[in-house]
A = this chain, B = another copy of it.
């Protein structure tokens, strides 16, 4: 099965980008050892001072979906939600066909 890549973007209410990023960094530590997690990095875009980007690679979409059950993850989601400027947009899902580094 091909690996699963998810490009997510979360936009914070004004002034809350750093707090949102801190929560996502905590999440990355929780899922780092989850089954099938290959990459979970948090990024920012110089041109956008409100959003935080999450780039994830998992062995499968199922492994990604299971990550919501990792202890502490739902609590972090609950902490992040009030910081968001609206409901999170659906991420871009890609199927990895090859490459280097994972």
Chain A: residues with CB nearer than 8 A to chain B?
Answer: 3, 5, 7, 21, 25, 28-29, 31-32, 37-46, 53-55, 57, 92-102
Complexed CA–CA distance, A84 and B29 (Å)? 39
A93 to B, closest residue via Cβ: B45
A26 to chain B, nearest CB (A): 10
Q: Are A99 and B45 in contact (CB under 8 A)?
A: no
**A–B complex contacts, Cβ < 8 Å, 21 sampled:** A5-B41, A28-B98, A28-B100, A29-B100, A32-B100, A32-B101, A40-B99, A40-B100, A41-B57, A41-B96, A41-B99, A42-B96, A42-B99, A43-B95, A43-B97, A45-B92, A45-B93, A46-B93, A46-B95, A55-B94, A101-B102
